[in-house]
Amino acid sequence: MHSQSSPLGEFDLIERFFKTGGGSNSTLSLGIGDDCALIKPLAGEEIAITSDMLVEGRHFFAGADPEQLGRKALAVNLSDLAAMGAKPLGFTLAIALPKVDAQWLEGFSRGLFAVANHFDCPLIGGDTTAGPLTISITAMGSIPHGEAIRRSGAKVGDDVWVSGTVGDARLALAALRHEITLPESDLKTIEHRMHQPTPRIELGMQLRGIANAALDISDGLLGDLKHILKQSHVDAEILLDLLPKSETLGRQNQEVQNQFAASGGDDYELCFTAPSSQRDAILNIGKALNLSITRIGQITPMINSASEVRLIGPDGKILDNPQTVTLLKSFDHFSI
Amino acid sequence: MHSQSSPLGEFDLIERFFKTGGGSNSTLSLGIGDDCALIKPLAGEEIAITSDMLVEGRHFFAGADPEQLGRKALAVNLSDLAAMGAKPLGFTLAIALPKVDAQWLEGFSRGLFAVANHFDCPLIGGDTTAGPLTISITAMGSIPHGEAIRRSGAKVGDDVWVSGTVGDARLALAALRHEITLPESDLKTIEHRMHQPTPRIELGMQLRGIANAALDISDGLLGDLKHILKQSHVDAEILLDLLPKSETLGRQNQEVQNQFAASGGDDYELCFTAPSSQRDAILNIGKALNLSITRIGQITPMINSASEVRLIGPDGKILDNPQTVTLLKSFDHFSI
């Protein structure tokens, strides 16, 4: 591929790797190749829109496997759609590439379209340019009018739930950074949690009418939960021992377990609140999807002027402030 | 601003510079601050979606004025909406910044929201991260179902039109690069054409039902026109002398005039085709908008297996192949 006499130009590049794939759906009236894509929403549906940007060396290692990267780039956006209860409609891709590398592009587009096809979410437009490797995806989904699950809907008395397990992606990162030594078999088990997060699209759609508030966990469970609390003007009590951990993370010492599960980030699980009357419904959804869904605490009235998470330790007592602050520390793309 | 004790974190940053502004409109049900924004399209409307990415050192000089950059970043996306005949609804912004610089962000957001407010196009979501300066915007607009002006609709016998003047942005770039020496007054006159392109939103909306095909000129008039020809399976004959040039460009030698007008790029004018029965209607639209709209040629049947532009010189003869190739050379973000 590299030996061809003339380099691939921008238009060839788009045609060759990005023109087709990702399926199509009835809502899409016009895909790639015009100034804009066109979507024709169904009557009574709202469009949910989310944008994420991944930068080499910041969100992924230089030299990262392009197929995994393609998967993850789309998956993290679909995870935002899942958090609102939206059904994927399509996405745009803007990508800056240091050079035209056919092998890299093949791998990247293979990963990208594997996820796109799985969720029936076609690529509908975008932009390619030269520049430091940067991937920006905007994903769109549809939701029946008024049924989107917002961050602002949590009510006092709601249970707080989290899907799957949390902290695994952070554990994989720690191992890859040699902060922690893991047996090879453990690393293998959890590495895919970091590289190939699963957007909880089905769960999000089934939580319409059941959950009062939801978000996806990208920066760390407790830090992200605070966004729900802040927008809903409530507090929460969370039982630290209930945070759902994989067996692999469960083999680490207690401090690492707590820290990674509470604030590790990159989990892409859903955290949501729902009335206690919905407990059975939620557990049944989990069974049907073969996905663990764990109740970790409760929404409580706001005590002080700002929303707070109170963490309850194994002894039933509230953790002191310094411990809480550490466990709440959200991943911030500017501060680390 | 820079002297404050703790650096701005990601969330503060979003809140402070990007949370409000750009107006709002009746279609927006939920703006920034949740996992997704929500748009509720009007019944019978389609959503047009476009994404562009601007990279420092590639699309703008390092150290470029942040206010101008903010304006341009949104304007080039709105230009794509204009080309379809869409009315702006809102946009997302994903931005990678090498550092948190409050002064830069103030200027950038001032420029961005000046354009957003002017076109009633609110910022509805996005992402901020550390990284090499890269700006990725996805803009959305609405069009009554079936009225979008596509690239594929050009018919044999259509006139080919272009709005405003072409080649000015390229002339400004040549002067700034010291390829050409311009009097200071000329440079001033045309520099804003490069830094502050005007998306032809009103023109695009008024061309619904009149134009058969349209696009916006970002990579050069003739190279971009070829996209219409290719998708419509037609050729075109263009009279080189009719390309609309500003007085400033008109003072350059003939070769520079032709080259910059034909393939300069960064014009963000609309090129469109329409039946000759629409000539009066189009000229009246131009008068009402106080915008020159110039007829530069005609759509002709496809002669060979690929769509072609035939350029007619001042002597009425078709230009030879090497001349045509040079004038058709589109700006390609990978080849220069």
DSSP β-bridge partners for residue B239: B312
**From B29, B126, B134, residue closest to A131, measured CB to CB:** B134
Q: Do B96 and A53 touch (CB under 8 A)?
A: yes
Segment B178-187, tens digit of pLDDT: 888 999 888 8
Contacts with B131 from chain A: Cβ below 8 Å = 53, 55-58, 132, 134
The reply to whether B98 touches chain A by the CB within 8 Å rule is: no
Question: Is pLDDT of A267 > 50?
Answer: yes
Specify the 3-state DSSP secondary structure of B68. helix
Q: Do A52 and B151 touch (CB under 8 A)?
A: no
ipTM: 0.84
What per-residue string of b and e applies to B73-100 under the rule 16 or more CB within 10 Å gives b?
A: bbbbbbbbbbbbbbbbbbbbbbbbbeeb
DSSP β-bridge partners for residue B47: A39, B142
Distances in whole angstroms, Cα of residue B334 to Cα of each of A2, A6, A127? 15, 12, 12
The reply to whether A35 touches chain B by the CB within 8 Å rule is: yes
Average pLDDT over chain A, rounded to an integer: 88
Contacts with B83 from chain A: Cβ below 8 Å = 35-36
pLDDT at residue B2, rounded to an integer: 27
pLDDT at residue B58, rounded to an integer: 87
Distance, in Å, from the CA atom of B75 to the CA atom of B57, rounded to the nearest integer, reads 19
A window 247-286, beta carbon within 8 A of B: none
Contacts with B86 from chain A: Cβ below 8 Å = 36
Please tell me which residue of chain B has the smallest CA distance to A53: B94
The reply to whether B26 touches chain A by the CB within 8 Å rule is: no
The reply to whether A98 touches chain B by the CB within 8 Å rule is: no
- Minimum mean pLDDT range among A200-209, A302-311, B4-13, B265-274: B4-13
The reply to whether B62 touches chain A by the CB within 8 Å rule is: no
DSSP A60: B
Contacts with B38 from chain A: Cβ below 8 Å = 46-49, 84, 143, 148
Segment A48-87, tens digit of pLDDT: 999 999 999 888 888 899 999 999 999 999 999 999 999 9
**From B34, B95, B130, residue closest to A58, measured CB to CB:** B130
Query: Would you tell me how many other CB atoms lie within 10 Å of the CB of residue B189?
Result: 17
Q: Do B49 and A127 touch (CB under 8 A)?
A: no
Segment A151-177, tens digit of pLDDT: 999 999 999 999 999 999 999 989 988
The reply to whether B128 touches chain A by the CB within 8 Å rule is: yes
Distances in whole angstroms, Cα of residue B240 to Cα of each of B160, B247, B261, B312? 12, 16, 9, 6
Please tell me which residue of chain B has the smallest CA distance to A81: B36
Strands A235-239 and A309-312 come out as parallel
Instruction: Show the DSSP H helices in A198-289 as ranges.
Output: 201-206, 221-232, 247-250, 254-263, 279-289
